[in-house]
Amino acid sequence: MYKKLFAIFFIVISISVFSCKVSKKDKQRKIEKITVEPFSKEVIKLSDIAKTIQYIPLETMKGHTIGRVKKIFFINNRFYVIDYYKKHSIYCFDEKGRFLFEINNIGNGPGEYSFLTDVALSYDRKSLVLADIEKKKIIFFDLNGNFKYEQKIPTNLYFDSFSMHKSYNVLLAHSYLFKDAPRESEKKPSIDYASKHFKLYNYITTPSDFSDTYAGFKLHNIYTESMTLLKPFDLHNDTIHSTYAYNDTIFIVNTNEVYPKFFVDFGANSIPSKYTNAKSDEVYFKLYNDKDLKWAGLLDRLIITKNLVGFSYVTAIKNENSALYLKSTKQTITFNQIENDINNGPIGVVAGKYSDNSLIAYIDAFEVLENFDNTTNPEIQNLVNSINENDNPILILITLK
C-alpha cells in the first residue's frame, strides 16, 4: 500500500514540476506587443523619462574622420565606432571622446581586409571580430587594436551582418548561401562547414504566422537585396535578439530554434504585406514611389537591455527614426515625440548601449550646429564651440530614470 501511495505521490509531483516547466516556457514564449505611433503629435518631455543627457564630441584627428556610423560598442570605458562607408575602419575613443586609435588594415595579408562587411564583439567581450565577405574571412583584434588571428569562411557564404555567441561561432543575417554556385557538387563543402559553425534562419512577416518560425538551413523568403541591416543583432544575458529586413518583429535566437519575442505594431501605418512579401524590384520600389502611402516599418539597430528595448525604423517621411520600449511601464516613446527640455539639444539616432539604463545615440556634427537652440547653457555653448568644422559624429548618452 505504501508503495502505491509513493508511486501516486511521485506521479503527482512529476506532473506538477512538468507543468511548472511548461508554464515557465510558455511565459518565456509570450509575444509582447510594442505599439508605435510613428506620426504621433503628442509631445513627451525628456525630463519625464531621463535623468541626464550628455553630449560627447569625438575628437577629429587628421586623416581619421568618420563617415557613416554602423555600430557603437562601449567596453572598458572606451567607445568603438564602426564606419564601413567612408574608410572601412574601427575608431576607438576614450570616454571623453579623445581619439585613441584606428583599425584600418586595408590589404591582402594576414590581419588585413579589402572590405569591412561587419564587426561584432566576441562573446567574452575581449576581441573585436571583423568580417570581410570579399576575402572570405573573419579577423580577430584585441581591444587595443592588435591583430590576433583570422579564420576562413566558406567561399559560397554571403552575409551582411553577424553576431558571436558561445554556442555557435557566427550567426548570420541577410544570408545568401551558395550564391552563384554553378554546380551542385560545389555546395557540399559549404554545407559541411556551415552545419558546424553557422546557424541560418528564416523569418515571417505577420504576427499570425508566428508558429511558422524555424531555424536551420533555409534561405529567406523575403526580397532583401536592397536592404542592408546596420545592427540587426544584440546580445543580452547570453541571449541573442535579432530582426530581419522587412519584418516588424524582434526574435530570440537559440541554438536550435528561432521564435518571436516582440512584435512592433505600427498600426494603420504598417507596411502592407504586398510590399513586405515582394520578390521583385518592381514591387519593392512601388513602396517608395507610392506618394499616398504613409508607411512605417523596417526595424534596424536593436538595443536590448534589462530595462529597455531600443530600435530604429524607417518611415515614408524620414529614413532614420528611433523608438524606446520601457519594459517596466510597457511604454513606447518615439524620438520625434521627445522635447528635450534638459538642454534643448537634438536627441539623435540610437546606435548602442552604455548600461542597462543608458543608451548611446549619435548625430552628425553639423546637425548639432544647425539644431541647437540659442541657449545660455554653458555645456551646450562649449559643445558648439568645440565642434567647429568637426566632421565626426557627436555621441549622446541618455540615462533613463
Is 184 within a domain? Answer: yes
For residue 174, being part of any structural domain is answered with yes
Provide the residue range defining the domain that includes 246. Answer: 32-400
Q: Is the pLDDT at 198 greater than 90, yes or no?
A: no
Average pLDDT of 279-285? 63
Predicted local distance difference test score (pLDDT) of residue 15: 45
Whether residue 14 lies inside any domain: the answer is no
**Model confidence at 216, in pLDDT bands (50, 70, 90)?**
very low
pLDDT at 224: 37
Percent of the chain topping pLDDT 70: 65
Judged by average pLDDT, the poorest of 86-95, 116-125, 288-297, 347-356 is 288-297
pLDDT tier for residue 272 given thresholds of 50, 70 and 90 = confident
Residues 162 and 172: their CA atoms lie apart, in Å, by 5
Domain assignment present for 75: yes
User: Residues 349, 355, 356, 357: what is their CA dihedral angle, to the nearest 10 degrees?
Assistant: -60
In a domain, 121, yes or no: yes
Q: Note if the pTM is more than 0.85.
A: no
CATH code, domain with 266? 2.120.10.30
Longest dimension (CA), the chain: 89
Residues 362, 393 contacting (CB under 8 angstroms): yes
pLDDT at 117 over 50: yes
Mean of the pLDDT values across residues 70-98?
A: 91
Check residues 367 and 79 and name the one with the higher pLDDT. Answer: 79
pLDDT of residue 181: 39
Residue linked to cell 546596420: 230
Task: Tell me whether residue 22 is in a domain.
Answer: no
Q: What's the rounded Cα separation, in Å, for the pair 200 and 215?
A: 6
Pairing of strands 176-177, 214-215: unpaired
Q: Provide the pLDDT for residue 250.
A: 86
Determine the pLDDT at residue 28.
58
- Is residue 349 very low, low, confident or very high in pLDDT (cuts 50, 70, 90)? confident
Q: What is the mean pLDDT of residues 201-220?
A: 35
Grid coordinates representing 148 are: 590576433
Output the pLDDT for position 179: 42
pLDDT for 73 equals: 94
Residue 115 vs residue 146, higher pLDDT = 146
What was the pLDDT predicted at 387?
61
| Averaged pLDDT, 113-134 | 90
**Counted domains in the chain:** 1
Q: What is the pLDDT of residues 137-186, one digit of tens each?
A: 889 999 999 999 998 877 766 677 888 877 666 666 654 444 443 444 44
Contact (Cβ atoms closer than 8 angstroms) between residue 244 and residue 232: yes
* Mean pLDDT score across all residues of the chain: 75
